[in-house]
Each structure stands twice: as C-alpha cells, then as structure tokens.
C-alpha cells in the first residue's frame, strides 16, 4: 500500500518513512540548527509509526486525493470504534447440531435443518460507533 502511494506521488512529492528514534533525532538536530522553525513541537508529537509527505510539484489537495484512492479497510482490533455495521447473515452455518449451546449462550435464534445449524435471522454484531471487544 505505501509502495503504491510512493509510485503514485513520484515526481510530485517525496514520501519519507523511518524509525521513530531516527525521526526524533533528525528533528532534534534540525531544532539545534533552526530553533525558530518549530521542530521541537513536531518532535514532541512523533508517536507510533509515522511518515511524512513533502509536496514538491503538486498541491496538498493532490496528495489528499492520492491517499484517499489508496485507502484500505483493515481488520478491527479490540478497543477501536467500529466504522461499519456488521451482521452474521441468516442461513446455514455448516456446524453440526451438537454445537447449538454456543448460539444459545449468545441468544442467537437457530434451527436444525438437514443435520446442520441454521440461523433464523441476521444477528447484529457491531453497529457504527460501538467499541470492538
């Protein structure tokens, strides 16, 4: 994904990625050489994995549009806020009837059809804005 963004921005902007300690050290040296540039503020905000995009021959709108084109959804992690509604669809599950207690514990309506468990109706797992657990 990042490689696609770099290729798309080639000639228009420069994408810089690096280790946090290296980026923080670069901001520290930059602050010593140019104390008025505000690099100490940037250094204080470097948390987690970060990258920088420097526009050379394009506008920030072009960069924003490029990033939007390459945006992908990823798997949810515990503690994040859901951005989509997620349902278990009704229909056959492929599970044998001895496992109905799993669904009963979650209050999910089931019936047994042709030797396998079938969900009676769609069951909502997440709604937009819910915390993933």
pLDDT digits (tens, 9 = 90+) for 43-64: 888 887 888 888 888 888 999 9
Distance in angstroms (rounded) separating the CA atoms of residues 98 and 4: 48
Check the CA dihedral 30-33-38-41 and report its sign: positive
Instruction: Answer yes or no: is pLDDT of 9 > 80.
Output: yes
Counting Cβ atoms within 10 Å, is residue 68 exposed (0-12), middle (13-18) or buried (19+)?
Answer: exposed
Q: What is the pLDDT of residue 17?
A: 86
Q: Is 100 exposed, middle or buried (0-12, 13-18, 19+ CB in 10 A)?
A: middle
pLDDT at 22: 85
* β 110-113/86-88 pair status: unpaired
């Amino acid at each position: 994904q990042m490689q696609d963004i770099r290729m798309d921005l080639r000639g228009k902007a420069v994408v810089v990625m690096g280790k946090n300690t290296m980026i923080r050290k670069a901001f520290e040296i930059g602050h010593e050489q140019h104390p008025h540039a505000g690099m100490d503020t940037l250094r204080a905000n470097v948390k987690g994995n970060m990258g920088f995009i420097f526009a050379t021959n394009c506008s920030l709108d072009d960069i924003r549009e490029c990033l939007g084109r390459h945006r992908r959804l990823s798997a949810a992690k515990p503690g994040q806020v859901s951005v989509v509604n997620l349902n278990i669809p009704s229909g056959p599950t492929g599970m044998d009837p001895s496992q109905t207690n799993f669904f009963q514990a979650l209050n999910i309506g089931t019936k047994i059809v042709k030797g396998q468990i079938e969900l009676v109706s769609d069951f909502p797992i997440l709604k937009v804005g819910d915390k993933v657990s």
